Chain A
């Protein structure tokens, strides 16, 4: 599923990375625990999170995430957006809460990180 489609499904705003919306996303994970993301997320995944600090971008960089969706209308500070821009990590923001965001994407066929091996 392309990021562009994810943007539509979640009625999300693009904070940075408009030019990267053609990226193909194969699976996603939703978490507010960066420790968990670091330990369990697969590469080239999409992260849905309620965290907006700069470490989210750092973590995304380390594990090669393809994009981040901030849920519940959250938006990071400018410095964080700039870091994401530098690292070519597109940022989206949706008003939907975590559960609904993940649920909508899953219903449309976007699988979870732990399902990678049987994909």
Chain B
């Protein structure tokens, strides 16, 4: 069976430490989802997970590529970064675990909820990570059938 073509595809760069532009990608994605006419509760969980992933690159990595494919009934996001990687994924998923430095905490981030929130908001979350190389976050969101059409 041939793969269905995405309605919209987008690829953006994320720059580590750039708090001026942090959130721009997720904001753009939010607009696209709204214009595509997806229901608000669906958009909300996609956008929250997207923003958490985007912020993790800005906060913890050096640079990253954000790719999203939007289909009629699902959204696929991949965030690929060059960075320190995550040595202990299980630990990183624990709520409250964070290695964010003080200046990040002063901004209100670094409570250690991001990864668990991404898991909560997505239907499928997969993370590949290599220490001192980088991290790839893959998320899928399926539009419930009662919301379609």
Contacts and interface: CB of A to CB of B under 8 A. Distances in A.
Interface residues of B, number: 24
B52 A38 contact: yes
Nearest to B112: A35
Interface string B33-65: 000000010001001100110000000000000
Nearest to A36: B111
A63 B110 CA distance: 18
B113 A35 contact: yes
Contact of A62 (B23, B110, B111, B116): B23
Contact of A33 (B30, B111, B116): B111
A75 B100 CA distance: 25
Given A35-B114, A36-B113, A61-B23, A53 B108 contact: yes
A35 B51 contact: no
B109 A55 contact: yes
Contacts of B68: none
A63 B22 contact: no
A64 B26 CA distance: 13
Nearest to B58: A55
Contacts of A58: 22-23, 27, 51
B117 interface: yes
Chain A, interface residues (CB within 8 Å), range: 20 to 34
Nearest to B29: A62
B17 to A, nearest CB: 13
Interface string B93-120: 0000000000000011111111011001
A53 B107 contact: yes
Nearest to B23: A58
Interface in A22-61: 32-39, 43, 49, 51, 53-56, 58-59, 61
A63 B47 CA distance: 8
A56 B19 CA distance: 12
29 contacts: A32-B108, A34-B107, A34-B109, A35-B111, A35-B114, A36-B111, A37-B108, A38-B48, A38-B52, A38-B114, A38-B117, A39-B116, A39-B117, A39-B120, A51-B107, A51-B108, A53-B108, A55-B19, A55-B23, A55-B107, A55-B109, A58-B51, A59-B23, A59-B108, A61-B23, A61-B30, A62-B27, A62-B47, A62-B48
